[in-house]
Amino acid sequence: MILSIPSPSQAVWHLGPLPLRAYALSILVGIVVAVLLTQRRWKERGGDPDEVLEIVFWAVPFGIVGGRIYHVITSPDQYFGAGGDPWKAFAIWEGGLGIWGAVALGAVGAYIGCRRMKVSFPVFADALAPGLLIAQAVGRLGNWFNQELFGGPTTLPWGLEIDAAHLPAGYAPGTLFHPTFLYELLWNLAGAALLIWLDRRFRLGHGRVFWLYVVVYTTGRLWIELVRIDPAHTIAGLRVNVWMSIIVGMGALVAFVVVGRRHPGRETGTRSADSAAPDPESPAPDATAPASTPAAEQ
């Protein structure tokens, strides 16, 4: 008998009138794990762990909005096509967050948070990078519960069972599919471990851990996208996300090399360049004042 991975029979639980959705819970758990790891890495770099919470306060909402915007733009038919419901574009709890939009707009939110806290954005991005991969890994469990975004049919022992209600047209009941949620989950966890090891081994800095995160993630996303069979817009026969993985991954690789040549090694602190600038409202030192004595300096 062929072994298989069963799909959860339920993706929503109701606590009175409050629906608890596995997709949302997966994202929340991923965010919590990422924050805890980032706080630890930020402290290792000499920062205050509480600063991470302040920055995440800006990054997470921006990331969720960006992820949803990207999803709606790249999958417009189900919202604005024939039989689509435009209002469902706001139904984030039903699934549908594009990682490219989430990272792009989330980075804008993180930059705002870093500016407000007067900490270095590249240093924070380096501290955050492994946690991002872990958050994305945990978030993929939401796709498993929703029985969505799986790959083509397979006879491998780890084939994924899909209920009849979620079965794509043209496939017989009992067909097993590639569990792409599991592929990406394992890839991201392995990538996070690799980033942590490389960061400690070579003391990477100046944003290079983050650029390496992009390279690792896009490499995995490239081949996983080629396995998936869910509907998607294509360009020259390839899914849009395949092209995005190639373009973004190559750009990140170039950035990693260029930054490494210009700024080898790691920064000596977590503060931004303008955090040490003198306050224009503070009085200038009195040039006529006597120099301090050795006793005063002690």
Q: For 169-197, write each residue's pLDDT tens digit.
A: 999 999 999 999 999 999 999 999 999 99
pLDDT at 75: 82
Instruction: Please name the residue that has the structure tokens 């496939």.
Output: 171
More confident of the two residues 285 and 167? 167
For residue 50, the model assigns a pLDDT of 96
Band (pLDDT 50/70/90 cuts) for residue 91 is confident
Please give the mean pLDDT across all residues of the chain.
90
Please report, to the nearest 10 degrees, the dihedral formed by the alpha carbons of residues 216, 219, 220, 226 taken in order: 170
The C-alpha atoms of residue 221 and residue 224 are separated, in whole angstroms, by: 5
Residue 156's pLDDT is what?
Answer: 94
* Per-residue pLDDT at 98: 87
Say whether pLDDT at 203 is over 90. yes
Task: Specify the pLDDT at position 274.
Answer: 66
Residue 11 has pLDDT above 90, yes or no: yes
Nearest C-alpha neighbor of 177 from the set 24, 1, 2: 2
117, 16 Cβ separation under 8 angstroms? no
- At 293, the pLDDT band (50, 70, 90 cuts) reads very low
Strand partners for 238: 235
Q: CB 194: neighbour CB atoms within 10 A? A: 15
How confident is residue 269, by pLDDT bands cut at 50, 70 and 90?
A: confident
Q: What is the reported pLDDT for 277?
A: 44
When computed from its CA atoms, the radius of gyration of the chain, rounded to whole angstroms, is 23
Of all residues in the chain, what percent carry a pLDDT higher than 70?
Answer: 90
pLDDT at residue 288 is higher than 80: no
The SS3 call for residue 12 is strand
Would the pLDDT of 297 be above 70?
A: no
Cβ count within 10 A of residue 108? 14
The reported pLDDT for the residue numbered 80 is 86
Length of the chain measured in residues: 298
Q: What's the whole-number mean pLDDT along residues 262-269? A: 92
pLDDT band with cut points at 50, 70 and 90 for residue 292: very low
Model pLDDT, residue 294: 38
Distance separating alpha carbons of residues 291 and 201, to the nearest angstrom: 45
Which residues are 5's β-sheet partners?
Answer: 160
Block residue for tokens 């004042």: 289
Q: How far is CA 292 from the centre of its chain?
A: 52
Least confident of 86-100, 106-120, 146-160: 86-100
Q: Using H for helix, E for strand and C for coil, what is the string for 174-225?
A: CCEECCHHHHHHHHHHHHHHHHHHHHHHHCCCCCHHHHHHHHHHHHHHHHHH
